[in-house]
Amino acid sequence: MFTLEQIQSAHARIKNGSEYPKYVQELKALGVLSYTYFVADGHTEFWGAGNYKIASPASLAIRPISEVVNALGFQAQLIANQKGQTTFPEFCDDCAKTGISQWVADLSALTCAYFSLDGALILVEKIPALHSQ
């Protein structure tokens, strides 16, 4: 099974949001089936086969999540991040300000779902596949 060190190594190679599909492919190769990222403190839960789970520790200072969702503002920030215009910490700050508390990436379906504090689904997007597959 995959280790937290392997995941951290894959994450360290990603410079911006435009490289996210490459990161997803690396996680899939390690055996990660899905993960949930928690915006408030930056910890992540990674899931593999047979209910295998590991969690990363909090990696960021606690940030408050807006109780008011600004879906259009979030989508604009997501697009900017995917174009490489913001760093990952900046994107996380933008998520918090626009009311996104977590996202769940399903690496088999190649989707990423974004949720508010109350668990409402805000957006589901398709993760682009790399052309080398």
Fold annotation for 4-126: YdfO-like fold (3.30.1810)
Residue where the block lists tokens 């911006």: 16
pLDDT at position 132, please? Answer: 45
Q: Which two tokens stand for residue 102?
A: 């977590």
Statement: residue 129 has pLDDT above 60: yes
Domain assignments of the chain as residue spans, ordered by start: 4-126
**CA end-to-end span of the chain:** 22
- Angstrom distances, CA of residue 49 to CA of 28, 32, 109, 133: 11, 8, 15, 22
Average pLDDT over residues 8-22: 86
pLDDT tens, position by position, 69-108:
999 999 999 999 888 898 888 999 999 999 999 999 999 9
pLDDT tens, position by position, 43-74:
999 999 999 999 999 987 889 999 999 999 99
Verdict on whether the full-model pTM lies above 0.85: yes
pLDDT at position 130, please? Answer: 62
